[in-house]
Amino acid sequence: MLTLHRLSLKKPTVLIRLLKAMIWFGASLPILRLVILGVTENLGANPIEFIERSTGTWALVFLLLSLIITPLRHLTGQPWLIAVRRLLGLWMFAYACLHLTSYVWLDYQFDWPDIAKDIFKHPYVLVGASAFLLTLPLAATSNEKAIRMLRQRWKSLHMLVYLIGVLALLHYWWLVKKDVTEPVIYSIVFAMLMFARWRPGINKASS
Protein backbone atom coordinates (compact mmCIF):
# COMPACT_ATOMS: atom_id res chain seq x y z
CA MET A 1 0.00 0.00 0.00
CA LEU A 2 2.61 2.44 1.18
CA THR A 3 5.05 1.72 -1.59
CA LEU A 4 2.24 2.07 -4.09
CA HIS A 5 1.59 5.57 -2.78
CA ARG A 6 5.22 6.44 -3.07
CA LEU A 7 5.38 5.16 -6.62
CA SER A 8 2.35 7.13 -7.74
CA LEU A 9 3.84 10.36 -6.40
CA LYS A 10 3.64 12.55 -9.43
CA LYS A 11 2.54 16.11 -8.81
CA PRO A 12 -0.43 17.10 -10.90
CA THR A 13 0.78 20.72 -11.01
CA VAL A 14 -2.25 22.19 -12.75
CA LEU A 15 -4.58 20.71 -10.18
CA ILE A 16 -2.49 22.05 -7.31
CA ARG A 17 -2.45 25.52 -8.82
CA LEU A 18 -6.18 25.47 -9.34
CA LEU A 19 -6.80 24.28 -5.80
CA LYS A 20 -4.50 26.95 -4.39
CA ALA A 21 -6.26 29.66 -6.38
CA MET A 22 -9.59 28.42 -5.05
CA ILE A 23 -8.28 28.50 -1.48
CA TRP A 24 -7.00 32.05 -1.91
CA PHE A 25 -10.33 33.12 -3.33
CA GLY A 26 -12.47 31.34 -0.74
CA ALA A 27 -10.31 32.35 2.19
CA SER A 28 -10.48 36.04 1.35
CA LEU A 29 -14.28 36.06 1.12
CA PRO A 30 -14.88 36.35 4.91
CA ILE A 31 -12.55 39.36 5.01
CA LEU A 32 -14.33 40.93 2.07
CA ARG A 33 -17.64 40.29 3.81
CA LEU A 34 -16.45 42.04 6.99
CA VAL A 35 -15.21 45.02 4.99
CA ILE A 36 -18.50 45.36 3.09
CA LEU A 37 -20.58 44.96 6.26
CA GLY A 38 -18.33 47.44 8.04
CA VAL A 39 -18.48 50.11 5.35
CA THR A 40 -22.26 49.77 5.06
CA GLU A 41 -22.63 49.76 8.86
CA ASN A 42 -24.22 46.34 8.91
CA LEU A 43 -22.07 44.70 11.56
CA GLY A 44 -24.94 44.85 14.06
CA ALA A 45 -25.24 46.50 17.47
CA ASN A 46 -21.87 45.26 18.70
CA PRO A 47 -19.62 45.47 15.61
CA ILE A 48 -16.38 44.88 17.52
CA GLU A 49 -17.64 41.63 18.98
CA PHE A 50 -18.90 40.65 15.51
CA ILE A 51 -15.43 41.09 14.01
CA GLU A 52 -13.72 39.33 16.94
CA ARG A 53 -16.09 36.36 16.70
CA SER A 54 -15.91 36.13 12.93
CA THR A 55 -12.12 36.25 12.63
CA GLY A 56 -11.73 33.85 15.58
CA THR A 57 -14.16 31.37 14.07
CA TRP A 58 -12.41 31.48 10.69
CA ALA A 59 -9.01 30.94 12.29
CA LEU A 60 -10.45 27.80 13.90
CA VAL A 61 -12.03 26.69 10.62
CA PHE A 62 -8.72 27.00 8.76
CA LEU A 63 -6.94 25.13 11.52
CA LEU A 64 -9.42 22.27 11.11
CA LEU A 65 -9.14 22.45 7.31
CA SER A 66 -5.37 22.13 7.54
CA LEU A 67 -5.85 19.07 9.74
CA ILE A 68 -8.10 17.44 7.13
CA ILE A 69 -5.30 17.18 4.59
CA THR A 70 -3.30 14.35 6.13
CA PRO A 71 -6.23 11.94 6.62
CA LEU A 72 -7.57 12.92 3.22
CA ARG A 73 -4.22 12.13 1.66
CA HIS A 74 -4.20 8.65 3.15
CA LEU A 75 -7.83 8.07 2.33
CA THR A 76 -7.60 9.05 -1.32
CA GLY A 77 -4.03 7.96 -1.96
CA GLN A 78 -3.25 11.42 -3.37
CA PRO A 79 -0.01 12.43 -1.67
CA TRP A 80 0.28 15.70 -3.62
CA LEU A 81 -2.55 17.14 -1.46
CA ILE A 82 0.18 18.01 1.03
CA ALA A 83 0.99 20.94 -1.25
CA VAL A 84 -2.08 22.91 -0.06
CA ARG A 85 -1.71 22.17 3.65
CA ARG A 86 0.78 24.96 4.24
CA LEU A 87 -1.49 27.49 2.50
CA LEU A 88 -4.40 26.50 4.77
CA GLY A 89 -2.16 26.78 7.81
CA LEU A 90 -1.02 30.24 6.77
CA TRP A 91 -4.62 31.34 6.33
CA MET A 92 -5.28 30.16 9.86
CA PHE A 93 -2.39 32.38 10.93
CA ALA A 94 -3.76 35.29 8.91
CA TYR A 95 -7.15 35.04 10.63
CA ALA A 96 -5.51 34.60 14.03
CA CYS A 97 -3.60 37.84 13.36
CA LEU A 98 -6.79 39.65 12.38
CA HIS A 99 -8.48 38.23 15.50
CA LEU A 100 -5.67 39.51 17.72
CA THR A 101 -5.59 42.86 15.93
CA SER A 102 -9.30 43.42 16.40
CA TYR A 103 -8.85 42.61 20.09
CA VAL A 104 -5.92 44.93 20.84
CA TRP A 105 -6.98 47.69 18.48
CA LEU A 106 -10.78 47.82 18.19
CA ASP A 107 -11.64 46.29 21.56
CA TYR A 108 -8.87 47.69 23.77
CA GLN A 109 -7.52 50.66 21.76
CA PHE A 110 -3.95 49.54 22.54
CA ASP A 111 -4.52 50.05 26.26
CA TRP A 112 -1.65 47.69 27.21
CA PRO A 113 -2.13 47.73 31.00
CA ASP A 114 -5.79 46.77 30.55
CA ILE A 115 -4.88 44.16 27.95
CA ALA A 116 -2.30 42.63 30.30
CA LYS A 117 -4.89 42.54 33.09
CA ASP A 118 -7.45 40.95 30.80
CA ILE A 119 -5.01 38.27 29.65
CA PHE A 120 -3.80 37.26 33.09
CA LYS A 121 -7.11 37.55 34.93
CA HIS A 122 -9.29 35.68 32.47
CA PRO A 123 -8.31 32.10 31.64
CA TYR A 124 -10.04 32.10 28.27
CA VAL A 125 -8.02 35.12 27.12
CA LEU A 126 -4.79 33.61 28.45
CA VAL A 127 -5.46 30.38 26.61
CA GLY A 128 -6.23 32.28 23.41
CA ALA A 129 -3.09 34.38 23.72
CA SER A 130 -0.99 31.23 24.29
CA ALA A 131 -2.49 29.61 21.21
CA PHE A 132 -1.54 32.66 19.18
CA LEU A 133 2.03 32.69 20.48
CA LEU A 134 2.40 29.05 19.49
CA THR A 135 1.35 29.83 15.92
CA LEU A 136 4.31 32.22 15.51
CA PRO A 137 7.08 29.59 15.17
CA LEU A 138 4.85 27.60 12.83
CA ALA A 139 4.19 30.56 10.57
CA ALA A 140 7.88 31.52 10.63
CA THR A 141 8.95 28.04 9.51
CA SER A 142 6.31 27.61 6.84
CA ASN A 143 8.74 27.87 3.92
CA GLU A 144 11.00 25.56 1.93
CA LYS A 145 14.17 26.91 3.46
CA ALA A 146 13.06 26.22 7.01
CA ILE A 147 11.87 22.75 6.08
CA ARG A 148 15.29 21.94 4.58
CA MET A 149 17.16 23.43 7.49
CA LEU A 150 15.14 21.84 10.28
CA ARG A 151 14.57 18.46 8.59
CA GLN A 152 13.18 15.97 11.10
CA ARG A 153 12.80 18.67 13.75
CA TRP A 154 10.44 20.58 11.47
CA LYS A 155 7.93 17.76 11.75
CA SER A 156 8.12 17.68 15.54
CA LEU A 157 7.83 21.46 15.69
CA HIS A 158 4.72 21.44 13.58
CA MET A 159 3.07 18.91 15.85
CA LEU A 160 2.37 22.03 17.90
CA VAL A 161 -0.69 22.52 15.72
CA TYR A 162 -2.48 19.86 17.79
CA LEU A 163 -1.81 21.79 20.97
CA ILE A 164 -2.91 25.02 19.28
CA GLY A 165 -6.14 23.26 18.29
CA VAL A 166 -6.81 22.16 21.87
CA LEU A 167 -6.08 25.65 23.23
CA ALA A 168 -8.24 27.32 20.57
CA LEU A 169 -11.15 25.04 21.44
CA LEU A 170 -10.69 25.67 25.14
CA HIS A 171 -10.64 29.41 24.39
CA TYR A 172 -14.00 29.00 22.67
CA TRP A 173 -15.56 26.79 25.39
CA TRP A 174 -14.61 29.15 28.18
CA LEU A 175 -15.75 32.25 26.36
CA VAL A 176 -19.28 30.96 25.86
CA LYS A 177 -21.63 31.90 28.69
CA LYS A 178 -24.03 28.99 28.69
CA ASP A 179 -24.93 27.74 25.23
CA VAL A 180 -22.01 25.51 24.21
CA THR A 181 -23.55 24.14 21.01
CA GLU A 182 -20.95 25.64 18.67
CA PRO A 183 -17.84 24.76 20.69
CA VAL A 184 -19.23 21.22 20.94
CA ILE A 185 -19.57 20.95 17.17
CA TYR A 186 -16.03 22.22 16.51
CA SER A 187 -14.64 19.93 19.21
CA ILE A 188 -16.32 16.91 17.66
CA VAL A 189 -14.84 17.77 14.26
CA PHE A 190 -11.41 18.18 15.87
CA ALA A 191 -11.74 14.87 17.69
CA MET A 192 -12.74 13.13 14.47
CA LEU A 193 -9.75 14.58 12.65
CA MET A 194 -7.47 13.41 15.43
CA PHE A 195 -9.03 9.95 15.36
CA ALA A 196 -8.56 9.80 11.58
CA ARG A 197 -4.80 10.13 12.18
CA TRP A 198 -4.69 7.12 14.42
CA ARG A 199 -3.77 4.20 12.23
CA PRO A 200 -2.58 1.31 14.35
CA GLY A 201 0.60 -0.29 13.11
CA ILE A 202 1.57 2.17 10.42
CA ASN A 203 1.20 5.55 12.09
CA LYS A 204 4.93 5.62 12.76
CA ALA A 205 5.91 4.84 9.22
CA SER A 206 4.37 7.88 7.57
CA SER A 207 2.61 11.02 8.62
Partner 1 sequence: MLLDNNRRNPSGILPSEITPQEMFEQRRQLLKVAGVAAMSVLFPTHLQAAQTLDFQKTAYGKEEKLTSFEDVTGYNNYYEFGTGKEDPARESTLFKPSPWAIKIEGAVKQAKTISLEQLMKLAPLEERIYRMRCVEAWSMVIPWLGLPLKALIDWAQPTGNAKYIEFVSYNDPRHMPGARIPVLDWPYIEGLRMDEAMQPLTILAVGLYGKVLPNQNGAPVRLVVPWKYGFKGAKAISTIRFVEHMPNTTWMKASPREYGFYANVNPSVDHPRWTQSSEKRIGAGLFAGRIKTRMFNGYDEVGQLYAGMDLKKYF
Positions touching partner 1 (CB under 8 A) are: 38, 43-49, 51, 106-109, 111, 114, 117-118, 121-124, 174-175, 177-179
DSSP annotation of 159 reads: T
Q: How far is the CB of 179 from partner 1 (least distance, A)?
A: 4
Q: Would residue 74 be called left, alpha or beta, if left means φ above 0 and alpha means ψ between -120 and 50 degrees?
A: alpha
Distances (CA, A) of 64 to 2, 45, 61, 130, 194: 25, 30, 5, 18, 10
Distances (CA, A) of 131 to 97, 122, 195, 205: 11, 14, 22, 29
Closest to 73 measured CA to CA, from 64, 58, 84, 63: 84
Q: How far is the CB of 107 from partner 1 (least distance, A)?
A: 7
Q: How far is the CB of 28 from partner 1 (least distance, A)?
A: 20
Residue 13 corresponds to which amino acid? T
Distance CA 153, CA 4 (A): 27
Q: How far is the CB of 109 from partner 1 (least distance, A)?
A: 4
Q: How far is the CB of 62 from partner 1 (least distance, A)?
A: 24
